[in-house]
Amino acid sequence: MATGDDRALAELYDRHGRLAYSLAFSILGDGAEAEEAVADAFLQVWNSAATFDPQRSSAAGWLTMIVRTRALDRLRSRRRRGALVERVALLEGVDVARPASSEDPALSAEQRDVREKVAAALAILPPPQRKVIELAFFGGLSHSEIAQELGEPLGTVKTRIRSGMEKLRAALAVHATAG
């Protein structure tokens, strides 16, 4: 194994390890489990890295989705719906960074920039829309599961997700152009 290969993985970790761990932590709410999920995800990246084409996909985006999947796998295998509901409560305001709290010196300037923009966009969403998006993304819940959790009609949940995502997309596009 050439040292260059290790270096690529090490660089990937150095750049994105903290955000990866934070994502896993926000999904699982448990440090030890988050650590396992992140290790799983990086090894999955490592094992399929030969097929990764940086021209076509952002490595960070790829890694992010793998971390989310591994973390949700663990969440489901835990089968603790009670814990999940707690997470739902936490998502209300604790786990998702607000613009003011995203000033973290450990992140690169670009990463801080992204966080601020997305967090700002999330913050301007009507809370019901933000909540369904967060339940889907961090909680791994489907339309019907969200409807059940919240006691809302299925159609309402679908509409909120779609509206919220459209607004986020538009806000990010505006920011991207402006920035």
Partner 1 sequence: MSERGHAWAEYAASFALGALDDEDRIAFEAHMESCAACRAEVLAYRDVAVGVARTTVLHEPPAGLRDRILAAARATPPPALANGASAAPGEAVRNTSVKTAPRTAATARVASLPEPHGMRPTTPRRWLLAASTGVALLAGGALLSERRERRVLEQTVAGLTQQATTDRARLVGLEAALAGRDSVLATVLAADVVTLRMVAQGERPPGARVYWNRRLGRIAIAANDLPPAPAGRTYQLWGIAAGSPVSLGLFNTAADGSATSSFAIGTALDFQVAAVTEEPAGGSPQPTRTPFLVGTRATR
- Contacts (CB under 8 A) with partner 1, residues 132-171: 133-134, 136-138, 140-144, 146, 158, 161-162, 165-166, 168-169
134's CB contacts (< 8 A; 6+ apart) are: 91, 96
CB of 93 to partner 1, least distance (A): 10
Residue 6 CB: number of other CB atoms within 10 A? 11
Number of residues that bind partner 1 (CB under 8 A): 100
Residues 91-110 that bind partner 1 (CB under 8 A): 94-97, 101-102, 104, 106-108, 110
Instruction: Please choose, from the candidates 143, 128, 33, the residue with its C-alpha nearest in 3D space to the C-alpha of residue 80.
Output: 33
Q: Which is nearer to partner 1, 85 or 170 (CB)?
A: 170
Six-digit token pair at 35? Answer: 């650590």
- Is residue 83 near partner 1 by the rule CB under 8 A? no
SS (H, E, C) 30-94: CHHHHHHHHHHHHHHHHHHHHHCCCCCCCHHHHHHHHHHHHHHHHHHHHCCHHHHHHHHHHHCCC
CB of 127 to partner 1, least distance (A): 15
Residues 37-66 that bind partner 1 (CB under 8 A): 38-39, 42-44, 46-62, 64-66
Q: Which is nearer to partner 1, 113 or 151 (CB)?
A: 113
